[in-house]
Structures are given as C-alpha cells and as structure tokens.
C-alpha cells in the first residue's frame, strides 16, 4: 500500500451496540475496496476483523481491530470496535485513534444504548459523527423509523444522505442525495435507475438541504428562496458540516449483501474529515516533515510477531531504526520494524506518516497511552480514556504451584488490556482480578488457559473485616516456665480500652519498677503481633489502646521473650469481657443512571443495607446521580444489576470510606465463615 498524505487519509472508528452489524459492515467495505478477496461472515468465523481466537469462539468482537482500504485515491483506516459493554476498552482505543465515529444502528430499531454511549464519547472527544443504518433489506426492517429516532434524539444536525426507496415492503433502490442519483442492487450488480419520487423522498431531500444550508450563509439564503443546490454546494456543505460537527449524515445500507455500502464509501472519501483537518493536539500541524508526535493507542502480544504497538501519528513520521523520546519514562527508545495491519495480517511498511495509523513491532518500554515524540520538541499527547474496572473476583489456581505463572500471564494481558487490574490482598491472601464485567473476566480466564496454559476459578472475594472492643478491661498475662537451668518469667497487667486510632496505641504507667523499662518494647511487640490475628474471627484488631500499668519480673528468669509472651497471653484473655465486635468496611458509592431508573436503583441500594446520602441531576442530560454509603460486602453483583436495570446506561464509582460496627446477624455469619475457612485450611 502506498504512502498517502494526511489530506487523503480518513480514520474511522465503527461503534455501536453488539448485534447491529458493525463487523459485517466493515467486511463489506473491505471486500468492495478489494482489500479482501472474499466477504467474511461473523457466524462462519472467517472475518478479517474478528480474527482473534476468542472472537471466533464467541461469534462477537472482543477487541478493537484495524484494517485499511483504498477507495477513490483515499486511504480509509477502519477501526472496528466491540459492541458488548464488557469490552468497552476497545471502543476507547478506537475513539483515540479516529477522527470520525461511524455509529451503526439496525433498521427498525431506535437509538440504542450502544449508539448513545459511542455518540457521547465521540462528541466529548471532538470527533465527527456519522450514522450507518444497516440491515435495510431485512424482513420488516424500517429505515424511516430508525431515522426518525435519530432525528428526535439529535435534532437538526441529522441529515439523510442515502435512503432506501421501498416498494411492497422491500427495498427497490437506494437514493444518494449527494449526487442526486438512484441505484438498484441485484445479484451483486449495481445499476443506475431513474430517480423515484414520493412525499417521503421529497421530505428527506428537504431535511438534507436544510442541514447543508446551516453550514453557509449563502446556502441558507438559497434554501429560504427555494433555489436548488448544485452538487458542488452539497458536497462542500456536507464536508464543512461533518468536519465542524454541525451535520450528522445518515446512510442506509445492507452490510450483509453490500448494497449501498459503496455509496457510503464514496461519501467517506468525499466528506469525512481528513487526518489533516482533525488535529488540534498540542497545536501541532499534521505535517510529515514536522517534529514527531505519535500516540500509542493499542498494544497486543502476537504469538508470532511479538509485542505490537499501534500508533496514530499526529505529526512527523515513524521510520525504522530511528529513535524517539517517551515523556512518561523520560527515555529514548529505538524504533524497529514497521507494519501495516489488516485484521490479523501484517504487511511490512516503510513508514507511518502524519495522520496515518500503523504498528511498530517489538518496541520495549512503551505501553498503551504513551507518546513518542522528537527530543527536539518534547510534547505529551492525551492518552486513552479507558473505562475503570468495576467488577472484582478472587482468583484461585487449580494446580498448586502455578500462582506465579498466573501472575505473569495477567501482567502480559494487562499490557494488552489496561482495563484489567490485579493485586494480592495481603490480608486475605487472595489474588484479586478486576475487569469491566462478567464476560470480560470470563475472557481473561479463557486467555490464561489458551495463551499461558494455566486454569483458574473465580469466586467472590473475601471481605477485609476488622475487629475492636467496646469495653475497658484490665487483664493479667503471666508466663512462667521452668525446664532446668534458667527459666522463663514475665508478668504484666494491661488495661485495654477503645480509642479512635486505627493503629494500636501503646502506653505505660508502671511505677516502682515492677516491670523494668527495658522490657517495655517486648510487651509492645507482643501486643502488636497479637492484634493482627484478631479476637473472634481472626481479623486485625483496631481502635484499641493498651496501657501497661503493673506486673512483676524475676532478676534471672525474666527476658524480652518472656514478657512478649506474657503480653500475648494478656491479649487472649480479652474475650468476652471486652465485648469484641466485628467492623465491616463501608464505601462511598456515586451511581449514575437515567432519570427513569433512579427509584429502582435506590431500592436496590436499600436492600444492600445502604444509606442514601443525596441525589440530583448529573452533569449529563437525562441522567441522575445518587450518592450513598454501602457495606463493601454487599457490592459484589452491583455492576451486573446496575447494567441490567439501566440497559447498560448506568455506571458508578465506589471507594472505601471507613469501618463501622456490623449488625449482629452479619457479625455472626462472619465468625462462622472464619471458622469454616480455618478448618478447610
């Protein structure tokens, strides 16, 4: 593939809800452009875009996939993204690299949540927006119902460019308002036919003219005077409006049969903003001769090629064997082999020029979100806005001894997918894996098996409870042992009482030398070791003050070890006189949901023993924010419930706030579970 200048490059992210035909549409575009020699089918598992083994197995996209094509002397980089919310990281990658978002809807449906979320992301990041309404030839499909739903949701910018002409409930031809021509598709052949006319077509044409007129004062005047627009004026108006965000073109098509997909490709080449017109990053010009500035928007570990770093070049160019500066690491890296990617296939390239997308292989020290730039002009581009993981599970290795292998595998998967996090909970000794949802975690488990040969099971993580006391008590700890020669003797009286400190507070009020000062540290050490093991369920004890106020010693047999042991014995006598209780972690929840779902979510939070602190309109339209405090033990499936109730529109963040006393019923269950776990271990 030849090197294209930035004004001849279009970077398009294809986004929307799963099942709407995004990958099928991408396959049609690649096939029509001659970039592939066959039309891939998702169900057959032979698409260019869903080349990953997991995508083939699941019959759905699980990652963002890049494939370029050439059309009308223009290079179009397609970035097909997953439609399932669990794999939203792929959408974030695609949005970062693209200049235009092509949002895919199915004819007959409304503006679904997948399109809503992709639209919000595109507008927030300053991307141009286009709509493709696919499956127009499907039985009972209704393009006009979907168009009206888009129009109702997004208003006057919505502009029909390609619409279907229907006869007897079936598509007879497709009308291209940009050229003023109509085409019939039959048996894989395209034929121009006379332009049909009816009230619906005339109404749609008026909508297009009105949208185009808003881009220029002279065009607006012509529109009010009911003067016809020339094709050049329509082209210019669409190009200007799409680039500045005042026009959202809508294209009717059928990805499965490829009908009218070629017209959409024509429009992308003519009207979609070029890479040169969509810069605005660090005031850089999209100039191949300028200083290098490129963003790594995706990383994968290919089993044959090795690490592959995907770059969108904003300025300058990436060439093999040159060096570049990484502002994050403050180090210079040497660039290696460069390839162009089409799904799972690679083709060696001479460079990645300004505005284009490509891959550098085996690039060490660079991760997703990093900028590579010239040392002479150091800049740091905006990274990738990944969604935060919100579902955590404990990982249990099926074969003992493979724990480190699992950790290594997860580290490598994190390099590919920054929406994964994992850590070892030092308290519960569990490996905690976090992701975006159940299917996301299931994918990670599957990849651990297929890529790294380790099998794991997931379970609900144990909660890191705490214990404390509610009453002041005074207890004696006495350690005496005689076994020939020197014995062991330590005797302490310690007052234990509640306090506000999360850490043990140790004090002494010894008079008359009943316990020599040199043994005080040993007493404190014995207590500090004891509070880590708990009183009733083995959890750390907090909010406790221990005051050493009396005791006795033996001039020969007393030692630091004896007094440390005596302190431990005193601590063990606390139960039950000190009224020990279980403390549970409480978190602050900020949940966001559509207006209509507020009541259901509030009810769900109440069932989780949560306390609602406040509610009100969120910063985005038609959304509510609810703030509450909820026990962390009750939040296990909240991700799934929120997504289900809100049809995927809801989201939340949840952070630890403090510990507070657990209700008696909960405390009893915690104690019973602790005993059970101790027996199993």
- Among 140, 141, 104, residue whose Cα is nearest residue 12: 104
CATH of the domain at 59: 3.40.50.300
pLDDT tops 90 at residue 344:
no
In this structure, the answer to whether residues 430 and 538 fall within a common structural domain is no
Confidence of residue 681 (pLDDT cuts 50, 70, 90): low
Instruction: Compute the distance between CA of residue 376 and CA of residue 324 in angstroms, rounded to an integer.
Output: 10
Of the chain, the percentage scoring pLDDT greater than 90 comes to: 84
Please state the φ and ψ torsions of residue 204, each to the nearest 5 degrees: -65, -40
In this structure, the answer to whether residues 99 and 123 fall within a common structural domain is yes
CATH of the domain at 644: 3.30.70.240
pLDDT tops 90 at residue 679:
no
- Among 71, 178, 74, residue whose Cα is nearest residue 130: 178
Mean pLDDT of 162-176: 94
CATH of the domain at 333: 2.40.30.10
Q: CA torsion, points 191, 193, 195, 201, in degrees to nearest 10?
A: -60
In this structure, the answer to whether residues 183 and 52 fall within a common structural domain is yes
What is residue 343's predicted lDDT score, i.e. its pLDDT? 84
pLDDT tops 80 at residue 303:
no
502 belongs to a structural domain: yes
Mean pLDDT of 625-649: 93
In this structure, the answer to whether residues 71 and 190 fall within a common structural domain is yes
Is 482:556 a contact under the CB 8 Å cutoff?
no
Mean pLDDT of 661-679: 88
| 32 exposure class (CB count in 10 Å sphere: 0-12, 13-18, 19+) | middle
Instruction: Compute the distance between CA of residue 158 and CA of residue 162 in angstroms, rounded to an integer.
Output: 12
386 belongs to a structural domain: no
19 belongs to a structural domain: yes
Q: Which domain holds residue 416?
A: 391-459
CATH of the domain at 399: 3.30.70.870
pTM over 0.85: yes
pLDDT tops 70 at residue 278:
no
112 belongs to a structural domain: yes
Mean pLDDT of 560-574: 94
Condensed to tens digits (0 to 9), the pLDDT of residues 456-510 reads 999 999 899 999 999 999 999 999 987 666 789 999 999 999 999 999 999 999 9
Which of 125-160 are b and which e, b meaning 16 or more Cβ less than 10 Å from the residue's Cβ? eebbbbbbbbbbbeeebbbbebbebbbeeeeebbbb
pLDDT tops 70 at residue 136:
yes
Q: What is the DSSP string of 399-415?
A: STT-HHHHHHHHHHHHH
In this structure, the answer to whether residues 448 and 494 fall within a common structural domain is no
In this structure, the answer to whether residues 217 and 101 fall within a common structural domain is yes
CATH of the domain at 572: 3.30.230.10
In this structure, the answer to whether residues 369 and 350 fall within a common structural domain is yes
What is residue 91's predicted lDDT score, i.e. its pLDDT? 97
pLDDT tops 90 at residue 10:
yes
Q: How many domains does the chain have?
A: 5
Long-range own/partner contacts, residues 55-59 (CB < 8 A, 24 or more apart): 57/446
Condensed to tens digits (0 to 9), the pLDDT of residues 220-249 reads 999 999 899 999 999 999 999 999 999 999
Is 339:361 a contact under the CB 8 Å cutoff?
yes
494 belongs to a structural domain: yes
In this structure, the answer to whether residues 191 and 335 fall within a common structural domain is no
Instruction: Spell out the alpha helix ranges (H) of 214-325.
Output: 217-224, 231-244, 261-271
What is residue 174's predicted lDDT score, i.e. its pLDDT? 97
Instruction: Compute the distance between CA of residue 403 and CA of residue 319 in angstroms, rounded to an integer.
Output: 40
217 belongs to a structural domain: yes
pLDDT tops 90 at residue 624:
yes
What is residue 140's predicted lDDT score, i.e. its pLDDT? 84
In this structure, the answer to whether residues 248 and 301 fall within a common structural domain is no
Which of 454-465 are b and which e, b meaning 16 or more Cβ less than 10 Å from the residue's Cβ? bebebeebbbbb
Where does a domain end: 459, 478, 499? 459
What is residue 680's predicted lDDT score, i.e. its pLDDT? 67
Where does a domain end: 441, 459, 477? 459
In this structure, the answer to whether residues 525 and 631 fall within a common structural domain is no
pLDDT tops 70 at residue 280:
no
Tokens of 142: 């209704």
Condensed to tens digits (0 to 9), the pLDDT of residues 392-415 reads 999 999 999 899 999 999 999 999
Where does a domain end: 544, 578, 612? 578
Condensed to tens digits (0 to 9), the pLDDT of residues 202-221 reads 999 999 999 999 999 999 99
| 37 exposure class (CB count in 10 Å sphere: 0-12, 13-18, 19+) | exposed
pLDDT tops 80 at residue 423:
yes
pLDDT tops 70 at residue 617:
yes
631 belongs to a structural domain: yes
User: Which residues are 558's β-sheet partners?
Assistant: 489
680 belongs to a structural domain: no
In this structure, the answer to whether residues 611 and 524 fall within a common structural domain is no
In this structure, the answer to whether residues 114 and 20 fall within a common structural domain is yes
């Amino acid at each position: 593939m030849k090197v294209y200048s930035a004004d001849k490059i279009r970077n398009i992210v294809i986004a929307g809800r799963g099942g709407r035909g995004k990958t099928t549409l991408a396959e049609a575009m690649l096939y029509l452009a001659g970039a592939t020699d066959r039309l891939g089918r998702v169900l057959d598992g032979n698409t260019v875009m869903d080349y990953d083994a997991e995508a083939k197995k699941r019959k759905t996209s699980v990652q963002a996939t890049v494939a370029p094509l050439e059309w009308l002397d223009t290079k179009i980089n397609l970035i097909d993204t997953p439609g399932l919310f669990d794999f939203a990281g792929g959408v974030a990658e695609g949005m970062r690299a693209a200049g235009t978002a092509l949002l895919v809807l199915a004819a007959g449906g409304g503006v679904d949540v997948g399109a809503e979320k992709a639209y919000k992301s595109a507008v927030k990041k300053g991307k141009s927006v286009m709509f493709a309404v696919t499956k127009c030839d499907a039985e009972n499909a209704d393009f006009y119902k979907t168009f009206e739903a888009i129009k109702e949701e997004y208003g006057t910018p919505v502009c029909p460019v390609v619409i279907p002409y229907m006869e007897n409930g079936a598509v007879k031809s497709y009308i291209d308002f940009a050229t003023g021509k109509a085409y019939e598709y039959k048996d894989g052949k395209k034929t121009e036919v006379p332009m049909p006319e009816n009230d619906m077509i005339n109404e749609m044409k008026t909508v297009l003219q009105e949208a185009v007129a808003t881009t220029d004062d002279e065009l607006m005047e012509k529109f009010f005077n009911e003067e016809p627009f020339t094709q050049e004026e329509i082209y210019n108006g669409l190009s200007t409006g799409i680039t500045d965000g005042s026009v959202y073109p809508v294209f009717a098509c059928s990805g499965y049969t490829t009908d009218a997909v070629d017209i959409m490709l024509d429009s992308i080449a003519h009207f979609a903003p070029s890479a040169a017109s969509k810069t605005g990053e660090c005031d850089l010009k999209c100039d191949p001769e300028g200083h290098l500035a490129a963003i790594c928007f995706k990383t994968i570990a290919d089993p044959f090629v090795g690490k592959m770093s995907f770059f969108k070049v904003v300025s300058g160019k990436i060439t093999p064997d040159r060096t570049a500066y990484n502002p994050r690491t403050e180090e210079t890296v040497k660039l290696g082999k460069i390839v162009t990617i089409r799904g799972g296939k690679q083709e060696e390239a001479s460079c990645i020029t300004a505005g284009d997308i490509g891959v550098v292989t085996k690039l060490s020290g660079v991760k997703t979100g990093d900028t590579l730039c010239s040392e002479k002009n150091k800049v740091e581009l905006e990274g990738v806005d990944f969604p935060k993981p919100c579902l955590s599970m404990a990982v249990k290795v099926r074969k003992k001894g493979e724990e480190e292998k699992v950790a290594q595998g997860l580290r490598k998967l994190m390099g590919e997918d920054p929406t994964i996090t994992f850590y070892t909970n030092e308290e519960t000794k569990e490996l905690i894996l976090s992701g975006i949802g159940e299917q996301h975690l299931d994918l990670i488990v599957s990849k651990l098996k297929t890529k790294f040969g380790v099998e794991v099971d997931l379970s609900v993580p144990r909660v890191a409870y705490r214990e404390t006391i509610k009453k002041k008590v005074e207890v004696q700890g006495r350690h005496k042992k005689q076994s020939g020669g020197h014995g062991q003797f330590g005797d302490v009286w310690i007052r234990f009482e509640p306090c506000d400190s999360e850490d043990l507070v140790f004090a002494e009020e010894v008079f008359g030398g009943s316990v020599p000062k040199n043994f005080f540290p040993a007493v404190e050490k014995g207590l500090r070791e004891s509070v880590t093991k708990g009183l009733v369920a083995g959890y750390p004890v907090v909010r406790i003050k221990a005051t050493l106020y009396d005791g006795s010693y033996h001039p020969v047999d007393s030692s630091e070890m004896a007094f440390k042991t005596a302190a431990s014995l005193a601590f063990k006598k606390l139960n039950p006189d000190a009224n020990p209780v279980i403390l549970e972690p409480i978190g602050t929840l900020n949940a966001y949901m559509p207006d209509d779902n507020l009541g259901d979510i509030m009810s769900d939070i109440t069932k989780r023993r949560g306390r609602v602190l406040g509610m009100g309109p969120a910063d985005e339209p038609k959304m509510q924010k609810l703030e509450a405090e909820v026990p962390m033990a009750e939040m296990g499936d909240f991700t799934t419930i929120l997504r289900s109730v809100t049809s995927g529109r809801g989201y939340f963040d949840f952070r630890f706030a403090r510990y507070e006393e657990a209700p008696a019923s909960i405390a009893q269950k915690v104690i019973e579970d602790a005993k059970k776990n101790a027996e199993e271990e």
